[in-house]
Amino acid sequence: MLIGELAARTGVSARSLRHYEEQGLLAPGRGSGGYRRYAESDVVRVLRIRAMVRAGVGTATVRRYLGCVRDGADGARLEMCPGLRAELDAVAGRLDAREAEVRETRGRLERLVGDG
C-alpha cells in the first residue's frame, strides 16, 4: 500500500510516517516510481509505534523496545524487556516534574489574581 493508505488506516499523518522512517522505525520498500510501498504488517507496526509515542516514549526508545509491544484485547501493552522499566520510569519522572511545574505556576497565578 502507498503512504496515503497507510496514513488513512492508522490515523497517522504521512509526515509522521516519513519521520518514523527517518528514525529507523519503518523500512518501506520502494516501487518502480520510487514511491514508498508498505506491507500489511506495517499497519500493526505503526499502531504500536503510535501507542508508545502517545504514551510519552521518544522515538529512540521506541526503536530499542518496539519488539516488547504485544497486542491484546484492550490494545497494545508492553512486556518488560530488560532496560525498559528504567526508560518508562524516566518518562514518568519527567511527567511528575511537569505536573509540579504546572501546580507551581497555577499557584502563582492564583496569588496574582487574588492580589488584584
Amino acid 115: pLDDT: 63
CA atoms within 13 A on the CB side of 113: 6
* Number of continuous H segments (helices) and E segments (strands) in the chain: 5, 4
Amino acid 10: pLDDT: 95
**pLDDT tens per residue across span 30-67:** 988 889 999 999 998 999 899 889 888 899 999 988 88
Distance CA 41, CA 52 (A): 17
pTM value is 0.75
Cβ contact 56:95 at 8 Å:
yes
**pLDDT tens per residue across span 82-113:** 788 888 888 899 999 999 999 999 999 999 99
Amino acid 106: pLDDT: 96
Helix then strand then coil, in percent of the chain rounded to 5, is 65, 10, 25
